[in-house]
Amino acid sequence: MSSNQAITQQVNTILEALRYQGITTAVLAPGSRSTPVALLLAQLEHQGRLDLYVDVDERSAGFFALGIVKQTKRPVLLVCTSGTAAANFYPAVCEAKSAHLPLVILTTDRPPELTNIGAPQALDQIHFYGQQVKHFCELPLASASSAELEYLNFNVQRMVVAAKTRPCGPVHFNLPLRKPLLPQLSPAKAIYPKIEFETAALKLAAFDLKQLQQTFANKRGLIIAGPEMQLPQHAALLKWARASAWPILADSLSQLRGNASENVITGYELFMGIPEVREKLKPEVIIRSGGTLVSAQLAAWLKELQIPLYYLDPDQEVNDHTKTATHVLPVEEANFFAALSPVTTPADWLHKWAGVQNKTLKSLTAYDFTQKFCEPAIAVALAQQLPARANLFVSNSMPIRDIERFFLTAREKIKIACNRGANGIDGIISSALGMSAQVQDKQTANFLLIGDLAFFHDMNGLMMAVRYQLQLRIIVVNNNGGGIFSFLPQAQVADFEELFGTAQNLEIAKVAALYHATYQKIESFTALQQVLATPVHSLEIIEVVTKRSENVAQHQQLQQAVKDGILRMLINENQA
């Protein structure tokens, strides 16, 4: 058997095994060593059996792949050549690990005789991502041995399954390849079988559920729904909360803010700082679901409460940095709430929450953003104006905080996503474009809210929008530097601008021109509302110019206005 027959069989077996376990999309960063993988991936694409994206910048490619995972909820294959190409994947690998995303990385490598001997473009790629992957596997050189092929078929499948078994996470294959690298391009037939992996569900025993129901009965109970991309919906949670009249504090990434239920409470960042409200809304028991909360204030409140907190932990990692969980329930949210019978709850409990929530919404709506245009106004305008079906990708740092605080209600089919594993400001554009690339429904519009520093960090990511004619409306909040630092003690130091503010003076219009994006500069609330009301067609960059120097005061003014409204409401209630 010729060596390229052996490579062809080997790579085909790997790719078929990947496909068996649900990989239908691959992102390739081009290079020479990865040639057989690239060509056989392209062949699968021609056969309509796989979507293949090619991204020259590996850092962007990694985050583009993460965006696809977020949209499709399926594992995605990420491929590169040997050398520093693989190192450029590292930020996305770390994000995948922290955010529990099933990323399957296949780095190609020089053959053994060119490693550890000073050959060019050869790094030690074994365990290259260290603790940041769930599993690593050094694949063997192609040998045309049937034992090897059988092993590959089995092992590649189990690694993909590991990636998508909770806690989900990245897995890494390193594949050494020896020249000649050109494979035989003929329709491959899968020789080795698919392994049928059934998925089991974590469920509590009926006895435990009965006890829990008794614990929750007649209590001022509260559900906190944290970030959640795994679940298609929270139907069971909502149903149970409605039947039990429990409020749900819905994190901006919980995918619950688009739900019109009166149980869904979102204004907590604006009202939990008021001592009278905290007193009035003090719960007796909490059920918490989903990942690490966006709201630091909510987390702080949990610590202060010191009450029983039931923490749903389907990942079985007890990743609760608030350390407030008193009871850990290793169970999926949907299973738990479907199995739990509703409880009776003090009559006015939900009503109290809804009252404060409604007053918060009214105060926010009444605020005169037309006169007082500011960064929070962008989140408010998005909540009001996003089309019925939309993906909203939100950058870290200030954007996600503003969304958490001010994007309080949305329409039903709006999905909010964020790279909330390691909270980096890298790769944001690529992640948003990766999501956009795999949106099947043509009615869905894609939005990205991002600050100028994060926009700068991943400008290269825009190339994928050009290459694949992707649709994305990017709202760049341009306050010329690192806005979040003005909220920290660092704001007072002499070297603030040099070390933290870091104005880049980036001309967004020129970036838009470079990537053939339509461009508009917005400097008022009305103009922003108008532009948001128009349909999204292609790559669009909307620059919203704000002032970093006024941002902290503007946030405080708005929060004070909401607070004043709530306090007046409480006084009226007491007088009534």
Which of positions 173-212 make contact with a copy of itself (CB under 8 A)?
Answer: 180-182, 185
Smallest gap, in angstroms, from Cβ of residue 19 to a copy of itself? 19
Kindly write down the DSSP assignment for every residue of 88-120, as one continuous string: HTHHHHHHHHHHT--EEEEEEE--GGGSSS--T
Is 138 near a copy of itself (CB under 8 A)? no
Instruction: Determine which residue in the list 32, 316, 326, 549 makes contact with a copy of itself, applying CB under 8 A.
Output: 32
Question: Which three-class secondary structure state does DSSP give residue 430?
Answer: helix
Is 2 near a copy of itself (CB under 8 A)? no
Query: Which amino acid would we find at residue 60?
Result: S
Write out the two tokens for 447: 């939005």
Taking the C-alpha atoms of residue 53 and residue 124, their distance in angstroms, rounded to an integer, is 27
Taking the C-alpha atoms of residue 558 and residue 553, their distance in angstroms, rounded to an integer, is 9
Is 434 near a copy of itself (CB under 8 A)? no
**Placement of tokens 């400001």 in the chain:** 425
Is 59 near a copy of itself (CB under 8 A)? yes
Smallest gap, in angstroms, from Cβ of residue 277 to a copy of itself? 25
Among the candidate windows 18-26, 54-62, 189-197, 409-417, which touches a copy of itself by CB under 8 A?
Answer: 54-62
Is 130 near a copy of itself (CB under 8 A)? yes
Is 552 near a copy of itself (CB under 8 A)? no
Write out the two tokens for 547: 């002032």
Q: Considering beta carbons, is residue 423 or 554 the nearer one to a copy of itself?
A: 423
Site for a copy of itself in 142-161 (CB under 8 A): none
Q: Considering beta carbons, is residue 422 or 561 the nearer one to a copy of itself?
A: 422
Site for a copy of itself in 285-314 (CB under 8 A): 291-292
Q: In terms of DSSP bridges, do strands 518-522 and 445-451 run parallel, antiparallel, or are they unpaired?
A: unpaired
Instruction: Determine which residue in the list 2, 5, 47, 124 makes contact with a copy of itself, applying CB under 8 A.
Output: 124
Among the candidate windows 111-119, 170-178, 233-241, 273-281, which touches a copy of itself by CB under 8 A?
Answer: 111-119
Q: Considering beta carbons, is residue 386 or 508 the nearer one to a copy of itself?
A: 508
Is 399 near a copy of itself (CB under 8 A)? no
Question: Which three-class secondary structure state does DSSP give residue 398?
Answer: helix
Tell me 563's DSSP state.
H
Smallest gap, in angstroms, from Cβ of residue 506 to a copy of itself? 8
Say if CB 245 and CB 220 are below 8 A apart: no
Terminal-to-terminal C-alpha distance of the chain:
91
- What is the distance, to the nearest Å, from the Cα of residue 538 to the centroid of all Cα atoms in its chain? 22
Smallest gap, in angstroms, from Cβ of residue 559 to a copy of itself? 22
Give me the sign of the Cα torsion angle 136, 137, 138, 142: negative
Kindly write down the DSSP assignment for every residue of 302-365, as one continuous string: HHHH---EEEE-TTSS---TT---SEEE-S-HHHHHHHSPP----TTHHHHHHHHHHHHHHHHH
Please give the size of the binding site for a copy of itself, defined by CB under 8 A: 86
- What is the distance, to the nearest Å, from the Cα of residue 113 to the centroid of all Cα atoms in its chain? 41
Q: Considering beta carbons, is residue 20 or 63 the nearer one to a copy of itself?
A: 63
Is 39 near a copy of itself (CB under 8 A)? yes
Is 120 near a copy of itself (CB under 8 A)? yes
Smallest gap, in angstroms, from Cβ of residue 29 to a copy of itself? 10
Site for a copy of itself in 528-547 (CB under 8 A): none
Write out the two tokens for 215: 């614990």
Instruction: Determine which residue in the list 27, 85, 229, 343 makes contact with a copy of itself, applying CB under 8 A.
Output: 85
Smallest gap, in angstroms, from Cβ of residue 484 to a copy of itself? 8
Instruction: Determine which residue in the list 22, 75, 83, 169 makes contact with a copy of itself, applying CB under 8 A.
Output: 83
